[in-house]
Amino acid sequence: MSVVVLISGRGSNMQALLDAGLPVAAVISNRADAAGHQIAARRGIVAAAIEHSEFRTREEFDTALAAEIDRHSPRLVALAGFMRILSPGFVARYSGRLMNIHPSLLPAFPGLDTHRRALAAGVKVHGCSVHFVSDQLDRGPIIIQAAVPVRPRDTPDLLAARVLRVEHLVYPRAVRWFLDDKLVVHDGVVSVRGNDAQLVYSDRD
């Protein structure tokens, strides 16, 4: 029934999953100095670091990562600010049970620096997406999205903070749906049994 969460840094999405009472078995990062480790430690959650810099190839790192994950036999692997591109072998191994949160309304703005790019593009609505991971970066069936307005005087930081607030809302919801067996993927499109809303809109600051 459990979830393994992969992080690289701050860990606020991981914290949102913990705050929601989800069954997180372990937190694994690719950096021993990830701030999220402190949060996990305070909650008594098993945390491990596998330093990617100690491996010669992406595949070797991914093999070590998978071995650490599999010790916990999780149902779901949740990427929460995990800043490593995963090899096709890794993605295939966890196919259908590997989830990510991305800070844009996919398929717009895959990759890094999404808030600055959204401002530069002049979009009026921005947000985040929780999706199943496929072997294309930041692609894969979309489970839930949250939209926020882009305001005239936004900076990337202001916009990022507005988006982060809704990230913390939708990621726990997506994980709960998965654990409750509510997600159905058909032709690359996800629906939720019982018709739960897969779009959240928030204009709060």
Q: Which single residue brings its beta carbon nearest to ligand GRF?
A: 81
Active-site residue, 102 included:
yes
Which residues of this protein are in contact with ligand GRF, per CB under 6 A? 7, 9-13, 80-81, 101-103, 128, 164, 167
For ligand GRF, the closer CB: 63 or 200: 200
65-88 burial, b at 16+ Cβ within 10 Å, e below that, comes to bbebbeebebebbbbbbbebebbe
Q: What are the respective helix, strand and coil percentages of the chain, to the nearest 5? A: 35, 25, 40
For ligand GRF, the closer CB: 60 or 177: 177
Alpha-carbon separation of residue 11 from 78, 107, 204 (angstroms): 12, 24, 23
Least distance to ligand GRF, CB of residue 47, Å: 14
Least distance to ligand GRF, CB of residue 148, Å: 13
Record the tokens describing residue 163, joined without a space: 């988006």
For ligand GRF, the closer CB: 74 or 103: 103
Which one from 102, 115, 126, 131 is the annotated catalytic residue?
102
Catalytic residues: 102
